[in-house]
Amino acid sequence: MSPTIVFVLFFLALVFVIAAAASASTKDLRGYFAAHRRISGFQNGLAIAGDYLSAASFLGATGLIAIFGFDGFYYAIGWLMAYLCLLLLLAEPIRNIGHFTIADVVGFRMHGDAVRIISSVSSLIIIVLYLVAQMVGIGIIVRSLIPGLQPAVAIVSVGAIMLALVVFGGMLATTWVQIVKVAMLFLSSLILAWLVLAHFGFSPWALIQAAGTLHALPHAVTNLFAAGSYFHGPVGAWDRLSLGIGLVLGAAGLPHLLLRLYTVPTGRDARISVAWGMICVSIFYVLLLIIGLGAATIVGGNLIGAHLSDTDAIRYIVAHPQHAQMLNAQLSSLGYIVPHRDANYAVPILASLLGGRLVFAFVAATALATVLSVTAGLTISGASSFALDLWHLICRRNDCSERERVTVGRIAALLIGSIAIAVAVNFHGHNIAVIVGLAFSVAASANFPALVLSLYWRRLTRAGLIVGMSLGLLTCFTLVLAGPDFSKTPLFPLVNPGIISVPLAFLATIVVSLFTKDDETDKKFDRLAVQASTGIGAAE
């Protein structure tokens, strides 16, 4: 049996053991959705890092650094700085105010169900976007593990394992799988960074010099450390800024990260867990930079992508005669062709090249663990939004037993996971980091303004919140659909809508609030402030 299969089977066996062990304690609401709030700050920090370090970071961002240099690293820096916003502004108050979901926080001062419903819908949209990105990652990983396997088959089979974990193991199993995954991720990254540095005689300067001499970069950029190879020209520069707004504010609105804050006993623990998460993430991004530069110099940006050899390669060349000369040259010199550049392949190719079968096997198993655990975290977060907000409020009009909500949560997990699998099957080929960038934009536009203003602005009214959240969400989606990613003749020139949608959401919320009056919201602000600051009255 190949080492790849051994590592994968070992991890999957561990997943099943964890799910089985946790299943006994997932009968009630607190057990299924919040792991009985008994996770420690440090453990939750590792799990938060696990949720955050998705396939987008491990595969997508590393590949983007390898191919696009600075512009790829920009993603990582944005994700890191976003953690600070979450730590400073939201971690502690969210734990002290809410019970299970974002809607608990934005709905704390609001009468009626409209606010909670909009908040849940936006959370579900973010979760499905993020899930699709992870599922695309699963296709890539399993395809490199078992050559010849169709991405659709890979996505469906791994998706099914993830669903089993979430449905039976709930939040507790998801948390422990995240912790195991973070340990594997760190080990893989350390091994890869070590191998890259060893290749350059343990001289980071030699690596930097080698990366600096690379040419043939996209859009005629002459230096891998310069901006412009991914976001090029003046429009690209605006797009970079727009993405930055989405990244730095988006993390604080990601439902699956915020849900984690409810698994610890107190607000202080929530803050500590975000701090530990940030330490893990920042170390990981430094390793990621080394690995990305290593892939750029050792593999070469032009050779990052799916490799075709033998009859597959010949069949492809015959079907694409316009590139026949270049592809034939590749086939005769390398023994394979790379028809399309695909950043997501950088890590597996580098691992195989530097570490041989064993390191490749471990890295591939790690990548599989990464996407599986993150999809599990996203699915349970979506299930909580559906069961605790939408089902409980709309379908059952606040009259729903704990047992029913847990059952609905399990069914919702199955539904959300299945939708994501179906979408991902038709979505492969897109860069994971780019899709995640879009999810961040939605989170920054719809959730972040609502959370910040709910927690810190007394004058906020229900009407203001509803208009702001709806406008943020709608603008974000309209601009994405009118943008270059979805339209051949784009009405909006940027891929990332954050530069318009985030300020608009803030502005709309503030203006409408100033022109409307809401005594109840105002009255409840003191209660919110006392509970958020002291934890008195917080959910146990």
Partner 1 sequence: MTESATTPLSDDDVARIAASDQFITLRRRRAAFLIPATIFTIVSFLFLPCSILLAPHAMATPLIGPMTAAFLFALGLILVSWLLLAYSVRICARLDVETAELVRTARKQLR
Residues that bind partner 1 (CB under 8 A): 29-30, 70, 73-74, 77-78, 80-81, 83-85, 87-89, 99-100, 104, 205, 208-209, 211-213, 223-228, 234, 237-238, 240-241, 243-245, 248-249, 268, 271, 275, 278-279, 282, 285-286, 402, 526-527, 529-531, 533-540
Contact 54/436 with Cβ under 8 angstroms? Answer: yes
CB nearer partner 1, residue 210 or residue 351: 210
CB nearer partner 1, residue 139 or residue 253: 253
Could you tell me the smallest distance in angstroms from the CB atom of residue 522 to partner 1? 13
Q: What does residue 174 show for φ and ψ, rounded to 5 degrees? A: -60, -40
Closest-CA residue to 263 (of 32, 52, 451, 51): 32
CB nearer partner 1, residue 283 or residue 411: 283
In terms of phi and psi (left: phi > 0; alpha: psi -120 to 50; beta: otherwise), the region of 483 is beta
User: What whole-number distance in Å separates Cα of residue 46 and Cα of residue 371?
Assistant: 16
CB nearer partner 1, residue 208 or residue 358: 208
CB nearer partner 1, residue 173 or residue 249: 249
Contact 78/241 with Cβ under 8 angstroms? Answer: no
> How many C-beta atoms surround the C-beta of residue 257 within 10 A?
24
CB nearer partner 1, residue 181 or residue 392: 392
Q: Beta partners for 428?
A: 430
Could you tell me the smallest distance in angstroms from the CB atom of residue 275 to partner 1? 6
Angle between helices 402-425 and 114-145 (to 10 degrees): 50
Closest-CA residue to 409 (of 382, 446, 431): 382
Could you tell me the smallest distance in angstroms from the CB atom of residue 363 to partner 1? 24
CB nearer partner 1, residue 45 or residue 339: 45
Tokens 């179906």, residue?
422
Which amino acid is it at 458? R
Show Cβ contacts of residue 161 under 8 Å, excluding neighbours closer than 6 positions: 12, 15, 372
Could you tell me the smallest distance in angstroms from the CB atom of residue 112 to partner 1? 16
Could you tell me the smallest distance in angstroms from the CB atom of residue 182 to partner 1? 18
Helices (H), 98-150: 102-106, 114-145
Could you tell me the smallest distance in angstroms from the CB atom of residue 529 to partner 1? 6
Could you tell me the smallest distance in angstroms from the CB atom of residue 8 to partner 1? 33
